[in-house]
Amino acid sequence: MKSPLHEVTGVIEAPADRVADLLLAARPGPIGPDNLWLLNGSHQGNLSGGPERFTAHFAGHTMTVEVRKNLLALQGGWWYRGEYLIEPHPLGTRLVHRVFNVAQRGRWGVPLANRFFIGFRAGLRKNTGDLLDRVGEQLGCAAHLE
């Protein structure tokens, strides 16, 4: 895979296995607090497939979800792939959020379709910060952007 378009990192002051238990829990069934927690509250849908590759079904679209030992990947639309990598860190866990352009055709059109990504990085940083806040609240620990 090519290098990411954007990358944002943060630290969660909890052991990597606790963070992985929260973020990587996925099984067939409704998305909820114990199943694809990352999308709980923001997306109503169901997962099918598994155990490492799922299809998330939402009203009007689907998304591929991949789960590995330390990685959650969400891929949908014609170009988007977001990866959340869980790594050990001296304070607990480092969460790396990367966004890739995976368009098979028309890769050149992705920047045009996204207004040359003006404001994209700032939005990604804010959304990742919001995610870190949610993780910290859920796990009862500090979490912050790097």
Q: How far apart are CA 133 and CA 145, in angstroms?
A: 9
Q: Are 133 and 6 in contact (CB under 8 A)?
A: no
What does the pLDDT profile of the chain (146 residues) look like in tens digits? 577 778 999 999 999 999 999 999 999 999 999 999 999 877 789 999 999 999 999 998 999 999 999 999 999 876 779 999 999 999 999 999 999 887 666 555 555 555 545 566 788 899 999 999 999 999 999 999 99
Domains of the chain: 6-145 (3.30.530)
Q: What is the pTM assigned to this prediction?
A: 0.88
CB 38 within 8 A of CB 23: yes
